[in-house]
A and B are shown apart, each in its own frame.
Chain A
Amino acid sequence: MRLALRELRRRPGRFVVATSVLALISLLLLVLGGLLDGLTLGSTGAIRVQQADVFVFSATARNSIPRSRITPELRAQVEKAPGVTSVGGLGIGQFGAAVPDHAGLVDIALIGYQQPATGIPAPPAPGEGYADRRLESSGVSPGQTIEVGPAKTPVKIVGWVEDSSYVLQGTVWVEPGTWRAAQNANRPDARVADGLFQVLIASGSGTPASLAASIDAATQGQTETLTKNDAVLSLPGTRQQQSTFLQIIFTTLFVAALVVGLFFSLLTLERAGLYGVLKALGSSSGQLFAGLIAQALVVTGVAVLIGGAVTLLMVRAVPPTVPIQLVGGRVAFVVSGMAVAAVLGSIVSLRRVVRIDPASAIGSST
């Protein structure tokens, strides 16, 4: 092992090309993971922050918030469902909003809500709203009054909330009456009557799955109730994005293992004579192989560090339209994935190391 590490110190040039390729693969994995997290987190914040066990949609909405309509009568049935202890309403409208001292309009999702969520206080007074911090870069700030939609419905911003965006748009959280006023003034074909919400959030006893089943049974199939996790995944494109990106990430990790395998099998081939001598001097196959794994891990570790540094620079350089976001968990996954790929890749050389005959050290070839 010490010999392997000493070789890395004394002849680093030998490992430069492999390190470069693995650094690029790390960069690719981190960018892919960053894009996946940026897309997912930027789209699902408004759902993730809700402190509820289940989300209730109307049965024909196919889990689409804009298409769902829960009337007061249907809500009453949900409230009476066995196990339900609390119910709140949610309504979302997407608009262009005029922001003071900002050229052009800003995309916002105006959310009418009844129950406080994680990081979001109880609903503010009518005509007031909490803005998602994402909107700060568009010139929104507390104290301002923004004008929503072509009808210019005024909403005064009274504070910030965090990580609550919806389909990559900054959100403004208002009490239900303000949301209905904006919706009805700006979208006459999508009017919402008093008491009507698009979806309900509900909590209660039992597991979320059993609560969902209880609600759908109580409404006799007029609702489709999802657990919070399923509601997050039901947002447009979220499930497909996750599966596509994860497939690409795992295939790329497999390529990383192949690159490590290729490099170290060539290195082992080159050192066959040397390994023969070391074996003749008493080194075991295990010791030699441990050295190879140590080298693979060090090379991969350095590559991941380089890839990570370049990724950080890239994240700062890309235009804001590219939704890239580095998350600790994803970085840890990439680092551990690369380490596993390095170990698996170096196993390709194991057979050759084991087969080296110490007696070959006596001859001129192995």
Chain B
Amino acid sequence: MFLALKEMRRARLRFGLLAGAVGLLVFLILFQQSLLNSLITQFIGGLRNQSAEVLVYGVDARKNLEGSRVTPAQVEAVGQVPGVAKATGLGEGTFTVTAAGVLKDAVIFGYELGGPGAPTTLQSGRLPEKDGEALSSASKSEKGFGLGDQIQVAPAGVTMTIVGTAKDAKYSVAPTLYTSFATYESARRSVNPDAQVVLPSVVAVTVAPGASPTQVATAINAAVPGVEALSRADAVAATPGVSAITQSFGIILGLFYIIIPLVTGLFFLIITFQKASSLTLLRAIGARPQTLVWSLLIQVLIVVLGGAAFATFLLWGASFGTADIGVSVDPAAVATTTMVVLVLGLLAALAAVRRVLKLDPVSATTGQGVQV
């Protein structure tokens, strides 16, 4: 312990550079993990945190909510399928709205009030109870979407009053409003005077007590032509773009997890090579191999933990500039990543440990040092 710390104090630049490199790599992992979680939540939070257990898409939509339309006949047919307790139309669209006097993007969900499709993560206020009321997903940083604010669909469309807010209920990375289907219909018509009819995007389904959403979805697909029913979890996972984002980030994060232990292992292996003669001398004057190995492992521990602390500090700093995309310091994620990196770093240091254990104290008497 004493030896390890003394050496680190005397070679601050060397260990500082390593801790800096490890810290930057851990920062990139933490940043990307946070970005991935935030992106996924902002992308499909509105689907994940709503009350319909099954969502029924138009078959040509290919599980894309924005591109899906279902007919009134299909809504009715879904309601007749065994295992379905309630089936109502749910509309979704992206609109330009005026909030706090400024034009902004917003997603609007229109559902039958009191029916399936209502947000389930109410944070403040209440759910909408009549036309013209809406619940907002927006965070405090997004002005104009707070409790009591009024939002108008542009240009000169329907106006909604925010009566509640919900957590993690965004869709398509935009502030999301939940309102009655009639209000949604008015919004649709106001932006397109040529619209002949406003169809629901999907059928929102509550399953009967004891029925499984997956089985009910299968039954709907068998009974109703032209639709594709998915359980809520499947609808979330199948949303276009989610798997591409997850797989792309998975590849990048996987590479980072390989690089960090290699950088750490490389450093300690080289440093052990360089110290070989000194370590041999220590062995010759009675130092036990365990003492030297512990010294090495303590250095790995300090470098990785120091790097992780530096990474957390960087992430904290970065979170101020990326609040709009939701990057934040999650203590659980930091702890888990640090543990994984530490274990990988210690494993990577095994090559250096092996080299230390192979040192022969007798060679100190030959004047040749140790061959590396």
Contacts and interface: CB of A to CB of B under 8 A. Distances in A.
Interface in B231-272: 240, 243-244, 247-248, 251-252, 255-256, 258-259, 262-263, 265-267, 269-271
B236 to A, nearest CB: 16
Contacts of A267: 270
A229 interface: no
A67 B95 contact: yes
Contacts of A348: 17
Given A189-B195, A262-B21, A321-B247, A62 B103 contact: yes
B67 A31 contact: no
Contacts of B60: 95-97, 105, 149-150, 186
A262 B17 contact: yes
16 contacts: A21-B259, A21-B266, A24-B262, A62-B96, A62-B103, A105-B62, A149-B60, A150-B69, A186-B69, A189-B198, A251-B24, A262-B17, A265-B14, A266-B274, A321-B244, A323-B244
A360 interface: no
Interface stretch (B175-183, B186-194, B336-344): B186-194
B144 to A, nearest CB: 14
Interface in B161-207: 173, 188, 191-192, 194-199
A171 to B, nearest CB: 15
A31 B28 contact: no
A255 B274 CA distance: 23
Interface residues of A, number: 62
A6 interface: no
A193 B262 contact: no
Contacts of B197: 188-189
B59 interface: yes
A188 B67 contact: no
Interface residues of B, number: 63
Contacts of B263: 21, 259, 262
A94 interface: yes
A244 B325 CA distance: 10
Contact of B258 (A24, A258, A322): A24
B105 interface: yes
Contact of A255 (B14, B21, B154, B273): B21
A138 to B, nearest CB: 12
B24 A187 contact: no
Interface string B20-32: 1100110110011
Contacts of B255: 24, 27-28, 31
A47 interface: no
Contact of B194 (A149, A196, A262, A319): A196
A261 interface: yes
B101 interface: no
Contacts of B103: 60, 62
A191 interface: yes
Contacts of A131: none
A366 interface: no
Nearest to A169: B240
A107 B105 CA distance: 25
B96 A251 contact: no
B277 to A, nearest CB: 11
A343 B256 CA distance: 23
Interface in B53-84: 58-62, 64, 66-67, 69
B59 A105 contact: yes
Contacts, number: 157
A24 B259 contact: yes
Contacts of B154: 60
Interface in A41-70: 60-62, 64, 66-67, 69
A94 B248 contact: no
Interface in A141-191: 149-150, 168, 186-191
Secondary structure call for the B interface: helix
Given A21-B263, A60-B155, A255 B24 contact: yes
A255 B25 contact: yes
Interface string B123-153: 0000000000000000000000000000000
A64 B66 CA distance: 14
A213 to B, nearest CB: 19
B51 interface: no
A263 B270 contact: yes
B226 interface: yes
A105 B68 CA distance: 13
A96 B240 CA distance: 13
B18 interface: yes
B21 A258 contact: yes
Given A191-B194, A266-B274, A96 B259 contact: no
A74 interface: no
Given A67-B94, A95-B60, A190 B248 contact: no
B274 A17 contact: no
Contacts of A193: 194
A28 B173 CA distance: 27
Interface in B82-139: 94-96, 103-105
A96 B62 contact: yes
B35 interface: yes
Contacts of B58: 150
B110 to A, nearest CB: 12
Interface in B9-57: 13-14, 17-18, 20-21, 24-25, 27-28, 31-32, 35
B24 A28 contact: no
A209 interface: no
Contacts of A324: 248
B96 A190 contact: no
Contact of B17 (A149, A261, A321): A261
